[in-house]
Amino acid sequence: MHVLITGGTGLVGRHLADRFVGQGHAVTLTASRAATESSGSCQIVQADTAQPGDWQQVAAEADLIVNLAGRTIFHRWSEAYKKQMYASRIRTTQNLVDALPGDRPVVLISTSAVGYYGDGGDARLPESAPVGDDFLARLSVDWENAALGAAAKGARVVLARFGIVLAASGGALAKMSPAFRMFAGGPLGSGRQWFSWIHMADLLAAIEFLAGRDDLSGPFNLCSPHPVRNRDLARTLGRVLGRPAFIPVPALALRLLMGEMAGVLLAGQQVIPDRLSAAGFQFQYPHLDRALSDLLG
């Protein structure tokens, strides 16, 4: 099988490429910066996927496309940066759909995010929950609609709404852990907001599971079945690292530092992976304490 991973040199892409290469698949990654590295059956193509280009020929030949491309949300949001976030996701996805051949079966697993639901308060949010009304929610809707265009070409489309991905190096844990290690960790704002997360191992397994099930399409929440409140995340992270977790980060300080993006950290979603569980997927790390112990212990 030929697998194309857009945004493939990011945190999730690197791990996913290693997984597919280890199974003997031919894997091509797209990267926004110059990259000449290739290893075995894994090749890297330099491309701005928000623009049409030669890279689309790879998409036309792939059997499975995992669309991970997009500028990080963990950045101060100026109006210019919000446009970059939008273009890197929606235009990339539109270009992928344009490249699909339409004369043979293709699987497109296109990333979305639990930000689709906006600030969910204390509501439980399965895939059938309504969309939110903030910037990330509107971005997620447009992102998913762009991906669904592939269905008209005969592709099976899976919309993977990622929770916060926890990995041993990089990602959210790399941003949170240093403060705790320096005895300065604690909850964000009130700490009551829900935190929907997933261990990297479960994320990779879920993507592989969805890729292999021809009967599954549409939206899937890729997150643990046991979300936690932010204050419980802080306590558990502190306990695993052997550090206290009682110094909160005031909401005002976050807003001064991060601007509009702070609203994402202070809001939350209690997202439940109903469809993934109903399909028979088994989580290896459903509980936060075991996940963090595995990643940081």
Burial of 153 (0-12, 13-18, 19+ CB in 10 A): middle
Residue 216 has pLDDT above 60, yes or no: yes
Residue 254, strand partner residues = none
CA gap 78, 203 in Å, rounded = 30
Q: What is the percentage of the chain residues whose pLDDT exceeds 90?
A: 83
DSSP 52-73: -STHHHHHHH-SEEEE-----S
Separation between Cα atoms, residue 246 and residue 231, nearest integer Å: 9
Contact residues for 224 (Cβ-Cβ < 8 A; gap 6+): 163, 196, 197, 198, 199, 202, 273, 283, 285, 286, 287, 288, 291
Contact 177, 128 (CB under 8 A): no
> Among 268, 165, 162, which residue's Cα sits nearest to residue 219?
162
Please tell me the predicted confidence (pLDDT) of residue 102: 86
Q: Which pLDDT belongs to residue 36?
A: 47
Q: For residue 152, what pLDDT is reported?
A: 96
Which of 93, 2, 83, 13 lies closest to 49, judged by CA? Answer: 93
Q: CATH assignment of 2-166+197-223+272-280, given 3.40.50.720, 3.90.1150.10, 1.10.940.10, 3.40.190.10?
A: 3.40.50.720
Give SS3 for 101: coil
Domain coordinates in residue numbering, the chain: 2-166+197-223+272-280
112-145 tens-digit pLDDT: 999 999 999 999 999 999 999 999 999 999 999 9
* pLDDT score of 243 more than 70: yes
Q: Are 29 and 49 in contact (CB under 8 A)?
A: no
